[in-house]
Amino acid sequence: MAHSDSAAIVQITDEEIDHICEEFGNREGAVVQILQTIQEKYGYVPAEILERVGDDLGIPHSKMFGVLTFYSQFYREPRGKFILKVCVGTACHVRGAGLLVDKIKENLNVEEGENTEDMLFTLEPVSCLGSCALAPMAMVNGNTYGKLSGDKMVEILRQIKDESSAEPVSEATPAS
Q: Return residues touching other proteins (CB under 8 A).
A: 27-33, 35-36, 66-67, 70-74, 85, 89-91, 93-95, 99, 126-135, 137, 142-147, 174-176
Q: How far is the CB of 173 from other proteins (least distance, A)?
A: 10
* Residue (4 or 143) nearer to other proteins, CB: 143
Q: How far is the CB of 47 from other proteins (least distance, A)?
A: 18
Report whether 84 contacts 123 (CB < 8 A). yes
Rounded Cα–Cα distance for residues 51 and 28 (Å): 14
* Residue (7 or 175) nearer to other proteins, CB: 175
* Residue (13 or 147) nearer to other proteins, CB: 147
Q: How far is the CB of 117 from other proteins (least distance, A)?
A: 25
* Residue (11 or 72) nearer to other proteins, CB: 72
The one-character DSSP state at 31 is H
Beta strand 121-126 pairing with 82-87: parallel
Nearest to 64 by CA among 79, 80, 47: 47
Strand order in the sheet with 138-140: 121-126, 82-87, 138-140, 143-145
